[in-house]
Amino acid sequence: MNRDIVIIGGGPGGYVAAIRGAQLGYNVTLIEKHKIGGTCLNYGCIPTKALYRNAEILNTLKNIDEYGISVDNYSFDIEKIQSRKAEVVNQLVTGIEQLLNSNNIEVIEGTASFLDKNTLKVIKTDGNEEQISAKNIVIATGSKAFLPNIEGIDLDGVYTSKELLDFEEVPKRLVVAGGGVIGMEMAGIFNSLGSEVSVIHSRKYLLKQIDKDVSKRFASYIKKQGTKVITSSRISKIEKAELGLKVYFTDKKGEKHLDADAVLISTGRRPVVDGLNLESIGIEYDDRGIKVDNNFMTNVEGIYAIGDVNGQMMLAHVASHQGITAVDNIAGLPNEVNYDVVPNCIFVFPEIAASGITEDMAKENEIECKASKFLFRANGKALALGEPEGFVKVISDMDDKIIGVQIMGPHASDLIHEGTLAINKELSVTDISHTIHAHPTLSEAFMEATMGLNDTAIHLAPLKGRRK
C-alpha cells in the first residue's frame, strides 16, 4: 500500500478532504472522472449563482425608475451571459487545481472501482488501467438528478438543471416540476429572464424544511412576480404538442395540463454509487446512500463516505466539513459534524436562509419556545437598498437561548451566519442585545428580532399584555 489516503471524487467533499490530508502530512491521491469541483462548481452552486446575479440586475432594471434613473431599451446577450458564467466556473476550478498541485496531491483522471478493501481499479480517461492501493479510501462520488417515472420525461425539451444551465434561448413558457431549492432557484432566474414560469409541487408548502411562515410569504411574493404556483399536485405525463409540450398534472379536482416550451425536472437527487463495485467488499448502502458512522466510516474499516453519497445532508458546505472531519478521524483527531446548526441558503427572490430548528419543528418535538419577527420594511438599510420585503425570525427556548433563525430578505445568505454562530455557541438574547450592531446595516434586523423575544426591541411595538 503506497498511499495513505485515496479519495474517489473531486467535488467539494473530495478535494477538501484531499487538502486536509496533505495538511496532516499524508500521501494523498485524488481520482476524478470528469472535472475537479464536481457538480457544485461545474453544474450547480457556482454557475447557478452566476446566473442569479444576472437575474438580480434584471430585477433592478425592471424597477430602476424608483431610483430616479432612466434606462431605455435594455436587453441581454445570452452568449455573453453563458461566457461570463463559464469564466467564473473556470477561474474557481483552475484555482482548486492549483491548490491540489501546491499541496503535492496526486490527481488521476479516471473511474475507480473496488477490487478489495484496500485496492482500486482505475480506468483512466486515456484508456489505460491501473491498480491503486491505500490504507484508507474515501468515497466522495456525490449525487445525480433523480428522474421520476413520468411518461414523456425523455422528450426533447425536458431537462434537469444541469442541461438547463446551458440554455441557448430563454423558453417562453417554463414548467418546473418540484418546489425544492433547485426548482425554486431556477424558477426565479428564468422568471427574471422573461419566462412565464409555472411550478408544480407535490407538497402543500414550497421549500421543504423551511418555516411555514417563510414558505407562505415566499409563495405570495413569487406569485406577485408572475410565477404560477400549483401545490399538492403531481405531474402524470408529458406529451409532445404542436407547439412545445403539454404537461399533465393531477390535483384534488382531477387532471389538468399546462402548455410549455421547456420542462425542468427538479424532484431531488440520488447518491452516485454505480460502478463502484461496493457489493464485492460488503459495503452497506441503500437508495438514500452509503451508511456511515459519526466518523463517516462505512461498515468496512478504513473506507469512508462523505458528502451527497452518504445522503445525510446534500449541501456542498456539509460535504466539505464531512471531508475534513473524516480525515481528522483517520488521523486520530476528534472532530464531529453538528447537523443541528447547518446554515441552509436558498438563492431566490427574496433570498432565504435558515439555521437551527423552525417553530414547527419545536412544536413537533414538544420543545417550549418563543418566536419573534422583525420586518425588513422597518430596517433603514433595507429601505435604502429598495429591498424591504421579508423578515428575520428568531426562536429561543424558555431560557432565552437561541435555537433557530429564519431569514427571508436582502442578503439573507450572508446574515444567517450570525444566527448560526449564536445557535452553535448557545448564545442568549442578552448576549446578542449586549453586542453593538452597526447602523445602518441589515444585521440590525437580526438584533431587533432577537431582542423581541423578551420584548426589549427598540423598533418593534410591544406585544399586547407583555409590557405594562
**What is the set of active-site residues?**
439
Contact predicate 355/326, CB 8 Å: no
Query: What's 341's DSSP letter?
Result: G
Compute the Cα dihedral for 157, 184, 289, 13 and give only its sign: positive
Task: Give the integer Cα–Cα distance in Å for 160 and 162.
Answer: 5
Alpha-carbon distances of 325 from 50, 280, 338, 383, rounded to whole Å: 30, 27, 11, 42
Q: How far apart are CA 97 and CA 15, in angstroms?
A: 9
Q: Which three cell numbers stand for residue 312?
A: 445525510
Q: Is 5 exposed, middle or buried (0-12, 13-18, 19+ CB in 10 A)?
A: buried
Residues 6+ apart with CB under 8 A from 224: none
Measured CA to CA, the distance from residue 386 to residue 183 in angstroms comes to 26
Whether the CB-CB separation of 428 and 438 falls below 8 Å is answered with: no
Question: Count of CB atoms within 10 A of residue 87's CB?
Answer: 11
Output phi, psi for 80, to 5 deg: -70, -35
Helix (H, G, I), strand (E, B) or coil at 378: helix
Residue for cell digits 399536485? Answer: 233
CB 114 within 8 A of CB 138: no
- 8 A C-beta contact, residue 19 and residue 103: yes
